[in-house]
């Protein structure tokens, strides 16, 4: 699938030392969060989202719209994680 190709490219790019290139790092994190979320790799998406949130707070402050969007992304990822866990739990209960 396309997102798997994107993940491979991003992982390769992310492996390079981008140092203090904050904007590039923020863009990479955003892309990784999106791809990992679509792929259902919520733990990885959440980890990058937490790092992006810290960068946004440092760069923009806690009340900036970009920072708030990142906070909302975390809530969405957590919601997807809960929904997935609930579905798995329901399917497991039906089988027993």
Helix locations, 1-96, DSSP H? 2-14, 22-38, 42-60, 65-95
Question: 27-31, 41-45, 67-71: lowest mean pLDDT where?
Answer: 27-31
Number of domains in the chain: 1
Q: Is 19 left (phi over 0), alpha (psi -120 to 50) or beta?
A: left
**Domain span including residue 9:** 2-95
Say which residue, 25 or 2, is predicted with more confidence: 25
Q: Are 56 and 64 in contact (CB under 8 A)?
A: yes
What pTM does this model have?
Answer: 0.73
């Amino acid at each position: 699938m396309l997102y798997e190709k994107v993940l491979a490219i991003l992982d390769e790019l992310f492996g390079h030392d981008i140092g203090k290139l904050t904007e590039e790092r923020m863009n990479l994190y955003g892309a990784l969060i999106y791809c990992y979320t679509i792929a259902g790799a919520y733990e990885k998406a959440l980890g990058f989202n937490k790092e992006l949130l810290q960068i946004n707070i440092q760069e923009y402050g806690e009340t900036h719209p970009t920072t708030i969007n990142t906070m909302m992304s975390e809530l969405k990822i957590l919601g997807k994680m809960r929904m997935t866990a609930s579905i798995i739990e329901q399917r497991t209960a039906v089988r027993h």
